[in-house]
Chain A
Amino acid sequence: MSHDIHINFPHITRVEGHGNIVLNVKKGRIEDLRLEIVESPRFFEVMLKGRPILEATSITSRICGICAISHTTASIKACEGVLEITPPPEVVALRKVLMNAEILQSHILHVCFLVLPDFFGVGSVIPLAEKDPETVKCALRLKSAANEVSRILVGRHVHPVGMTVGGFKRWPSKKAFEEVKKVLEGTLKDMESIVNVFSTLKNPEFERETRYVSLTAEREYAIYDGTLLSSDGERHDTDDYKELITEEVVEYSTAKHAKKGDECLMVGALARLNNNFELISREAKESAEKLKLTVPSIMPYMNNSAQLVECVHTIHDSLRLIDELMNSKGKDLKTKSHKPKAGRGVGVVEAPRGTLYHEYETDKEGLITSVNCIIPTAQNLANIEKDIEAMVPLLLDKPKEEIGRSLEMLVRAYDPCISCSTHFLKVDFVE
């Protein structure tokens, strides 16, 4: 039995961005544990200051190429808050379809290309493609279909050009909605196949209680709107998100840690299902059963299964929404011009990896005076460290390589987007 362990993973593989795990155990006690985020900050918050409010969306979309629609939507909602605009229900429905498409493509990318190689004992998607080409092809088709939905509706998925404050630059035609419906219907069989593949796999068993935070709504599985709910019962309006979430700078990391007071929290698919399981579609509930996911689950590895359940939900939810949109009157929903004004707006959505916050304040010229963005990965980082802390004592008997692999898989289960999490280092300039 080894009680002294030194692990320094200089580069966690199969996650988005660059991070290191540093772990020192002496005589069975953890002396040093850090999840170091080492990517350069990109100063988006500073970049926005002094710019017209209507420029915020196209700039912040660039924070992430994978969750560009989530950043766009959160930004639009914050701008609409500032400008006191209430979008019509058809606009909200179409935004939900786009959010669903993004969740589908992001989750599929994660579970099939980043997580699945672990279960096949291979290092990346290339040897996985040799071992199970059909599953990889299936995943590629699903990702492609999700991107196609965005392309048809708003021009493209990465930095969508059609979404704007108040509505859409061009309202899709009925033919476009029919095309989207056909694309989505075409995903059902592939989605079922992927769920079947994962239903035969067993996630590592590890449990730790934490607080699960997500949006929640009365009548639907909350992705676009709702109030903030922590699994310990605390609830806040999104405008008051700072009552729930606080951010702190961590000296060894270029990403801040966002917490609930002094306590860590988890956001993302598992948090959403834990808080809102009753509101997912019947088909998604059936998938959860196949994947042996019961809620509330305190197993972080089950986030992978939760993502698959959400994939099933998003397809069925979008099919329902598209039917509604096709039956709507199709009136002119093109956006109008907006007068600048002083105000504050908070946009909160559920991005694939968890709750995403954008908050802007403007002066009477409509120029941005204050920005705060909190991205999901920043909210999960402290929780991942706590998980590692709790898990390491259970692994001390294992060979060092196995400990390292287990920890990497744990980090990977959170689907961290490290590139996103480093965008918000705050800089104060002396003037």
Chain B
Amino acid sequence: MSSNEITLTVIGLGSPLMGDDGVGLEVAHRLKHEELPGSVEVLSAGTPGIDLIDMITNRERVIIVDAVKINEMNPSYGRAVDESSKDFVFIEPESIRKKEIDASVHEMGLDTTLILMRTLKMDLSNVTIIGIPIRSAEQVRGLSKEAEKKANKVTEHILTLIKEMRK
């Protein structure tokens, strides 16, 4: 299937070496093991920096899955992420604000990349972000049980979305 026949792109972000930070990547990994229609592509993007722009542009619909640190990301994201948040939250790309911008393109995170795209008036209306609240991101391999559970929930949610798309 050529790229212009893809109707949904799911992008998993995060580092598998940083514990629960890799939860978005884990969702992508799980989706890749499912039988998906040819119109869905799943990208295990990891920490792509500015190259994320290429993954988003000229796509019909994009879902980005990334870890969101509980409390710490407030007020960067439009919707508050706190202890009461359950398994995942939806974040509008347009709502992302950040006081200090990462100076290095090498380390450009999702928020900075989206702010750059918005500054350049690039279309973000096709992008949905699913944020998975995590307590910490430490140098350890593998996810906590809590993050594993959340990864399952998000995977199920995306699979339901895909089923609905096929109707």
Contacts and interface: CB of A to CB of B under 8 A. Distances in A.
Interface in A157-194: 158
A66 B106 contact: yes
Contacts of A143: 50-51
B54 A114 contact: no
Contacts of B51: 143, 147, 158
B104 A126 contact: no
Interface in B103-139: 103-106, 112, 115-116, 119-121
B53 interface: yes
A129 B106 contact: no
Interface stretch (A132-140, A311-319, A389-397): A132-140
Contacts of B116: 125-126, 129, 136
B119 A129 contact: yes
B50 A136 contact: no
Contacts of B50: 109, 113, 140, 143
Contact of A129 (B49, B105, B120): B120
Interface string A142-154: 0110010000000
Interface residues of A, number: 25
Interface residues of B, number: 17
Q: Is the interface of A mostly helix, strand, loop or mixed?
A: helix
A365 to B, nearest CB: 30
Contacts of B140: none
B105 A133 contact: no
Given A133-B121, A137-B120, A144-B54, A16 B104 contact: yes
A123 B103 contact: yes
Contacts of B54: 144, 147
A123 B101 contact: yes
A209 interface: no
12 contacts: A14-B104, A14-B105, A66-B106, A124-B101, A124-B103, A126-B101, A129-B119, A133-B119, A133-B120, A140-B50, A140-B120, A158-B51
Interface of A: 13-17, 65-66, 109, 113-114, 123-126, 129-130, 133, 136-137, 140, 143-144, 147, 158, 419
